[in-house]
Amino acid sequence: MNTLYTATATATGDGRNGHATSEDGVLDLDLRLPTQMGGPGGATNPEQLFAVGYAACFHSAIKVVGGRDQIDVSGTEVSASVGIGTLDNGGFGLAVELDVFAPGLERSVAEELVAKAHEVCPYSNATRGNIEVKLTVI
């Protein structure tokens, strides 16, 4: 891989109940275990950060594929839901649902666009075969 950019961040404190900063100082935030997992809530968590990153990355992939295929993708939106749960082996795993809003596109065109974006998106490439990713055109 020809690396174009590297992001570096550091987590301190008690992991999910700690603090995180990016090397450049743009991100500087508290982390809290969500109440649904027995934590105090009140701050972001790794799953929210992953959801934001995946949604933005996938939306960029849609824009790249749309431009390449000369498809008007204006007005598109991507919503990512990231779930965390226990695995049979006692560890934890993730599952992702990506909902793509594609106004003005025929459903078949939008579904083909989403499938192509899933092949281009770095997050999709990193997770393929590791976690379940459900794609839905809404």
48: left (phi over 0), alpha (psi -120 to 50) or beta: alpha
> Judging by beta carbons within 10 Å of its beta carbon (0-12, 13-18, 19+), is residue 80 exposed, middle or buried?
buried
Shared-domain flag, residues 117 and 65: yes
Shared-domain flag, residues 24 and 77: no
Q: What is the pLDDT of residues 60-77, one digit of tens each?
A: 999 999 999 999 999 999
Shared-domain flag, residues 87 and 53: yes
Shared-domain flag, residues 90 and 115: yes
User: What does the pLDDT read at residue 59?
Assistant: 98
Query: Do residues 93 and 113 touch, judged by C-beta distance below 8 A?
Result: no
Q: What is the pLDDT of residues 75-134, one digit of tens each?
A: 999 999 999 999 999 999 999 999 999 999 999 999 999 999 999 999 999 999 999 999
Domain of 1, in residue numbers: 1-44
Shared-domain flag, residues 87 and 119: yes
Shared-domain flag, residues 96 and 66: yes
Shared-domain flag, residues 37 and 51: no
Shared-domain flag, residues 65 and 27: no
Our count of domains for the chain comes to: 2
